[in-house]
């Protein structure tokens, strides 16, 4: 794994489409901390959380782990640094616009 740029003393946000076992994102966060990052945040759309993801993510390497509820997060997979964002409003607006034959592009602005 290679790091491009200087993260010393900085707040770093890691973005990924999915966290499954969390091996890759935790390895990346460890590298960022080793290079002097002040805080590391993880964000993803799909929280698959296959074992041992929750164990890895809850060790405190991340200031916060932010995911959506596209895949429902089971209660047993919650940990103190986890924030789950609801996509319900976004999906509702999208369905309404498609139903009324309106553009969905304004949702993204």
Amino acid 106: pLDDT: 84
Return the CATH number of 11-108, one of 3.90.550.10, 3.20.20.120, 3.40.50.2020, 3.40.50.300. Answer: 3.40.50.2020
Look up the pTM and report it. Answer: 0.88
Residue 43 structure tokens: 């964000």
Amino acid 75: pLDDT: 96
Pairing of strands 82-85, 39-47: unpaired
Torsional sign, CA 71, 74, 75, 80: negative
Q: Which residues in the chain come in under a pLDDT of 50?
A: none
> CA-CA distance, 60 to 72, in Å (whole number)?
23
């Amino acid at each position: 794994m290679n790091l491009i740029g200087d993260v010393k003393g900085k707040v770093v946000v890691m973005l990924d489409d999915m966290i499954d076992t969390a091996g890759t994102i935790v390895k990346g966060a460890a590298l960022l901390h080793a290079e002097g990052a002040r805080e590391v945040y993880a964000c993803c759309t799909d929280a698959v959380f296959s074992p041992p993801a929750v164990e890895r993510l809850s060790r405190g390497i991340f200031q916060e782990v932010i995911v959506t509820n596209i895949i429902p997060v089971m209660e047993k997979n919650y940990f103190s640094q986890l924030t789950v964002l609801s996509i319900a409003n976004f999906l509702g607006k999208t369905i309404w616009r498609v139903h009324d034959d309106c553009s969905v592009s304004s949702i993204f602005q």
